[in-house]
Amino acid sequence: MPVGTTLSAAEECDRRRSHRPGERETIGSVATRALTEDSVEMEFLTDDPVAQAVTYQRVTFDARAPRCGRYCWASELDLMVRLACLRLRERYQDWERGPFTRESQDHISVYEVTAAPAG
């Protein structure tokens, strides 16, 4: 796309869509495998139910180099998701599907596609 060109909201949705309405996609899961004072070992997993395949990677973060990251509030994530033509389907406070409340410190959010792809 040429510099300075902008897409309408509908064109952006068409560009990003690859799923049917109501279809779910598991982006992945994260699990802590080992935790010490100086390091943490984590496992990142994605599941492809069509191919019946699981892809995972174990990563170790240690105290040798500081790591910085950016977090976003659930409401900020919801806005980004709406811009990607998705909508919130369910939100929980934990993997046991506990209710998400104002006091919740974590969230598990399930999103779905809002419209069918054109064509």
Does residue 4 belong to any structural domain of this protein?
Answer: no
What is the number of residues in the chain? 119
What CA–CA distance (Å, rounded) separates 78 from 90?
A: 11
Q: Across-strand partners of 30?
A: 44
Which residue segment(s) compose the domain that 68 sits in? 9-113
pLDDT for the residue numbered 35? 86
What is the domain count for the chain? 1
Helix (H), strand (E) at residue 40 = strand 39-48
CB 41 within 8 A of CB 58: yes
Does residue 57 belong to any structural domain of this protein?
Answer: yes
pLDDT for the residue numbered 36? 86
Helix, strand, coil share of the chain (percent; to 5) = 15, 35, 50
CA nearest neighbour of 29 among 11, 42, 15 = 42
Q: Walk along the chain (119 residues) and give the pLDDT tens digit of each residue.
A: 444 445 555 555 555 555 555 555 546 778 888 888 888 888 888 877 778 888 888 888 887 766 677 777 888 889 999 888 899 999 999 999 999 998 988 888 999 988 765 55
Does residue 2 belong to any structural domain of this protein?
Answer: no
pLDDT tens readout for residues 71-93 = 778 888 899 998 888 999 999 99
The CA angle 109-110-111, to the nearest 5 degrees, is 115
pLDDT for the residue numbered 70? 76
pLDDT for the residue numbered 67? 63
Does residue 88 belong to any structural domain of this protein?
Answer: yes
pLDDT for the residue numbered 31? 81
Does residue 72 belong to any structural domain of this protein?
Answer: yes
pLDDT for the residue numbered 99? 94
Does residue 29 belong to any structural domain of this protein?
Answer: yes
What CA–CA distance (Å, rounded) separates 32 from 43?
A: 6
Does residue 3 belong to any structural domain of this protein?
Answer: no
Does residue 1 belong to any structural domain of this protein?
Answer: no
pLDDT for the residue numbered 90? 93
Query: Where does residue 50 fall: left (phi above 0), alpha (psi -120 to 50 degrees), or beta otherwise?
Result: alpha
